[in-house]
Amino acid sequence: MNTLSCPAPAKLNLFLHVVGRRADGYHLLQTLFRFIDLNDTLHFTSRPDGQVRRVNALDGVPPEQDLCVRAARLLQQETGCRLGVDIELEKRIPMGGGLGGGSSDAATTLLALNRLWGLGLSRERLMRLGLALGADVPVFIFGDNAFAEGVGERLQPFPLPDAWYVVLCPPVQVPTVQIFTHPELTRNTISMTMRALPKGPDFRVGGLEGLKNDLQAVACKLYPAVAEHLAWLMQFAPALMTGSGACVFAEFATQAEAQAVLQRLPSNMRGFVARGLQQHPLKDFAAAEAV
Ligand SMILES: C[C@@](CO)(OP(=O)(O)O)[C@H](O)COP(=O)(O)OP(=O)(O)OC[C@H]1O[C@@H](n2ccc(N)nc2=O)[C@H](O)[C@@H]1O
Ligand SMILES: Nc1ncnc2c1ncn2[C@@H]1O[C@H](COP(=O)(O)OP(=O)(O)O)[C@@H](O)[C@H]1O
């Protein structure tokens, strides 16, 4: 086997609280990650010569900065593996949208190359490697919808109901660092325990007073289009921004309800309907017996 094609799903942050700040400036979060059925697809072809190449162009992301190229190189460094890879990335997840596309591409690359190169690294080791690439990478390797703490690396599986989402994509890319470094960002939401949250069928976006996205106010101030899209969606259901934006979403119990809202979208706005997943499509991919 020297080729492999794998999905890299998007995520939503069903809430995101900033509860503190580490000495190195990184923010301590509490957030709930949910995978959705919008995905990039990555095609990997192993190379005997050790080169790592992205074979297609991606607007605004030179191969050297691409998180999947960086993930492959990190895996080579970590294991001394002398194989290389050609990576073709079919991009569908809007970039800079808070949907975690780059992080998910990196996670899928680690999972896929672990198998393609026959490395046998454990899920835990892949998650540690992923964290060096970005705070959002570990959850995509973890594989379950999760309550996350720390900078996103302390993860506990979190059962969620079947649900559908209308996701709107304001026509802006929000740099994560710009939101986290803004002087008006609040960093003092009271930390909670996972036990306090309703789970499974009882968890609903907007169902519990106080679950919010602490990055939203700053993103709305810097990017009024985010506020406009939120206001439109809130006519139909409680709506929130995901991650550091720019995308916003609302939850519905059925596909029909979500589609009915999307159909009313004004022609100057873009969006899609996505189904919430119960787990990452590569959940069972990391070697169970691994080192
Ligand atoms: C906000 C979240 C929520 O899921 O998602 P996105 O909106 O990016 O998808 C994540 O915490 C983003 O994770 P990720 O996109 O991997 O961020 P990183 O590359 O690790 O960090 C980018 C920059 O954001 C800041 N940063 C990031 C995470 C964090 N917990 N505290 C921070 O202060 C740091 O300044 C860092 O240099
Ligand atoms: N494979 C990749 N896919 C998307 N973005 C990438 C990738 N590699 C690097 N990036 C960079 O990461 C930034 C954030 O990407 P993305 O993960 O899509 O958004 P977000 O962090 O808002 O969820 C992009 O603007 C881009 O510069």
Q: Does the beta carbon of 242 lie inside 6 Å of ligand 2? A: no
pLDDT digits (tens, 9 = 90+) for 225-265: 999 999 999 999 999 999 999 999 999 999 999 999 999 99
In percent, how much of the chain has pLDDT > 70?
Answer: 98
Q: Which runs of consecutive H residues, i.e. helices, occur in 46-136?
A: 67-79, 101-116, 123-133
Q: Which domains are present in the chain?
A: 1-291 (3.30.230.10)
DSSP 8-state code for residue 39: E
Q: What residues are annotated to the active site?
A: 11, 136
Tell me the pLDDT of the chain averaged across its residues: 95
Instruction: Give how far the C-alpha of residue 236 lies from the chain's centroid of Cα atoms, to the nearest Å.
Output: 25
59, 67, 151, 167, best to mutate for ligand 2 pocket (most atoms within 8 Å of CB): 67
Pocket of ligand 1 (CB under 6 A): 13, 16, 25-27, 29, 31, 98, 100, 103, 134-136, 151-152, 176-177, 180, 243-244
Check whether 276 is labelled as a binding-site residue: no
Interface confidence, given as ipTM, is: 0.95
Instruction: Work out the number of other CB atoms within 10 angstroms of the CB of residue 90.
Output: 13
Cα–Cα distance measured from residue 9 to residue 167, given in angstroms and rounded to the nearest whole number: 14
CB 80 within 8 A of CB 50: no
pLDDT digits (tens, 9 = 90+) for 122-141: 999 999 999 999 999 999 99
Supply the pLDDT for residue 122: 95
Nearest protein Cα to ligand 1, atom 1: 243
